Structure 1
Amino acid sequence: MSRFERPVVVQVSRHAAERVVFDVNDAATILLRDLTRETKKRKAAMDACLRVLRGESHPPAARRAFVAAALEAKILRSD
């Protein structure tokens, strides 16, 4: 199961609606499609999501990494 205990709310652009991220798949999609700047935090979040999807890690680790990347990209609305 790759669901987050608590969803994360992001807004990928000023004109986009807020999006509620419920699980690792949603987070990975946003990292791939919307966060195009290559940063260490984005890469760490991508790696964390992949580890969960492979069954090598747990969702809380991916959630923490995603929140850090979202904060850095200034798209985090609520954690």
Structure 2
Amino acid sequence: MRRFERPVVVQVSHHSPERIVFEVNEAAAILLRDLQRQTVKRKAAMDACLQVLRGEAYPAAARRAFVAAALEAKILRCD
């Protein structure tokens, strides 16, 4: 299962609606498409998502990294 135990709510721009992220795939897509700045936290979140998708890590690790990257990018609405 590649779903988060609890969803993460983000808003990637002021003009877009909030998005409820339930799965690692969704988090990875947001990291790739919507977070343009290359930061250490973004890279760590991408790495964590890829590890989960390869079956090498649990979704909780990717969720923690995604929340940290979303917080840094100021797109986190609800954790």
The TM tier, using the shorter chain, reads over 0.9
State the shift of 1:44 in Å: 0.1
CA distance in structure 2 between the aligned counterparts of 1:23 and 1:8, rounded to whole angstroms: 9
Give the TM-score, by structure 1 length. 0.99
Give the TM-score, by structure 2 length. 0.99
Q: Deviations over 1:34-68 (max 9, x none)?
A: 00100000000000000000000000000000000
Aligned-residue identity in percent: 80
Q: In structure 2, what is the equivalent of residue 73 of structure 1?
A: 73
Q: In structure 2, what is the equivalent of residue 64 of structure 1?
A: 64
Q: In structure 2, what is the equivalent of residue 17 of structure 1?
A: 17
Please give the residue correspondences for 1:27-66 in structure 2 after superposition, counting only pairs within 5 Å. 27-66=27-66
Superposition misfits of 4+ residues, deviation over 4 angstroms:
none
- Aligned residue pairs: how many? 79
* Alignment RMSD: 0.3
CA distance in structure 1 between the aligned counterparts of 2:69 and 2:53, rounded to whole angstroms: 18
